[in-house]
Structures are given as C-alpha cells and as structure tokens.
Chains A and B, each alone.
Chain A
C-alpha cells in the first residue's frame, strides 16, 4: 500500500488469494464463515423481532455487508486493538468477538445486555474487549478514534485503532479534521469507510464529485485504497497492510470498502430512491456464499460442511434469543445510574 491513489477497486489476484487463504488457515477461515452467518442470523432475527413487536425503537441492519466487518476485524487483534464504529454496527460487534447473548439482550433492552439496556441496537459497546462502541451520530466516532490513536501513540503500545463509518460520514467536517490530525501526528488509526452506496436516501454518486471516497486520502497525504467490500479476502488483505503500517509508526490509512446495504436505512425507510433490480444485482454478490465458494475451492470444506456451519450459526442466535428473553428488564430504581463516574 502506498500513496499512489489508484482509482481501481482492489481485489486480490487468484494467486494472492491462495496465499492469503493459506496464511489464514482452515480453522480461522471456517470460523470467519460461521461468524458471517451468525451476523446474518442475528440481523434477520432482529428484523423478525421488530416485526413481531417484541422490540421498539429502530435499528440499522448491515445485511449484505458481513464480509467487510469480518475482513476488518480479523485483520487486527480484536480485544487488544481498539474498535469504534457507527450505528450499522451489529456485524462489527459480532465480528470483534462480541457475545450474541449480550447483544441480543441489549437489543431487547434487558439488564443483562452489553449496556444494561441503556444503549440498545445503536449503541452496543464491549468496552472490556476495547470495542468502544457504536455511535448514532454520523461521523461522531471519528474524532474519538483520533484520540484513541493518540493514546496508543503516547502510551507506546503496538495497538491500532479501527474506526469504521459510512459513506455519509466522509462529507462531514469532523471527518476532515480527524484525518488531517491523524495524518500530521502519524497516529495508528485505520479509517474504514464502508461505502454502502447510500447515506440514508442520498446516493453516493450524488453526494460526491469523486469516483472513490478513498481519493480523499490524497488531501491528507495518507494511503487511500478502495476494495471490494463484498469479498472477505480483499478487505482482510488491505486492512492487514494498513494495520502493519500503523504498528510500524507510519500513520493512518483510509480504506473504502465498497458494499451494499440490502435493507432500508432503518425501519422507516420505504426505499423510494432505488430500484428493486439494483438491490437484486447486489444481492447476487452476497458476500457469504462468495466466501464459502472460495473455501470450497480451496478444499477447506464442502457444501455439506457449509450447511452445517450455517445451521449452527442460526442455532446460536436462537440460544441468544432464549437468553435475552429470559433476562430481566432493568430496575427502574437504577435509572440514574451511570450518568457520572463516582
């Protein structure tokens, strides 16, 4: 990865893909596939629960974007490195090693949830594992990612901070301030822009006058790469390089992961701004079967094995639901807790 701003969309050559799979290894690769299915299952269940009236509020589903979450999370050391993401973040949390029980409990507003039911779908954090939370404000977490990077640099550890946001965030002021600041200070931050083509209803092509959001990197003299976000290996490869660069003290990178959100922005979205054909075209590039096909081709697994993994993932979410449903609601007597640290 260098400072040349290539306008192509990166995807590894067949030979490179083979090398990557071989270095990842069968066990980890199968675990990645299972986690992708777990994310899909979690979000399908979330959608179902919402439709049945079992949850309230809103939610932002990342169905169709699972490869990006996994590619990024597995290219760094989740639990040691840091994550900040935004409100389409169920997938990131699970990919980071989050416990689906605690996530489902949070989604249902239960006391046993990650945030004791105070955060909900939009604000899940797993602080113990350095997942510093999902943010409901577009770009709201980007300046904090700079601060985390600054902390890492000043403490002198070899951690990195993965900051994930959407295409809409790249047009906000804090995005520019933050990438500039991270660049001038060579901070170990990976800015991952998941370009799912729409900021709510505003198409990326209408909101930007550039072809790729990664081109913005040139303004900060940092590497900018666009990758096929529906291909696990593409994201994994580029984020790995960005992480290495960050650990070596060479500073931040901007990675644009080109993907697509299959569902509406949130529950209220009637999706009048796009056609069904467009959605179908992207659904044909479903990242999960794409990755499964790679694994079958590499002889890591056969189709029957894939089906078993998928079944297990969906079963895992049923267990998470059972845990959440059996969990208590927060006690109203505790309503004031957590505003201030004692």
Chain B
C-alpha cells in the first residue's frame, strides 16, 4: 500500500514546477495513492532477466548525411514568445547585479 501524503505531493510538485493549494494537494495525494496502489499489482510479476522495452518499434538510431540546410526562421521561432526582443526570448533577470 503506497502512502502518499500532501508533503509527497509538495516534493514532487516542486520537481515538476507546479504549485498546489493545501486543498488541491490533499486531493492529488488521494488520487495518486489510489493509482499507485493499482500500479503495485505489477510487483506480483517476475521480470528478472526480462529486457525493458523503450519504444513501440525496434529501430536502430537512424543516421543522416551532415549537410547544411536552411534553419528554422528565427523570427518565426519567437513569434509565439510571451516576451521577445528581436530574435531573443525575454525572461526576468536571473543574476543579481553586483
């Protein structure tokens, strides 16, 4: 039985860059606990020596010739930015001034 409390939700939320009110965190904890309980049914399976599957179709990493091509237009690339300057994305200041 997984025990997920609001403090676990707060920890994972911080990793995921999300915030929750106390009320929301309690509800999320209940949902996660219920879902993880179901997931724990996998523990009953013996998977020793079983290779993991990472993809729906086994393919070797495809290679391509290294030829120059037109890049994506930088003006288009910033066209959806909430804040931009020229072809740069603007964010709040990260480093403090001396």
A and B: bona fide binding partners: no
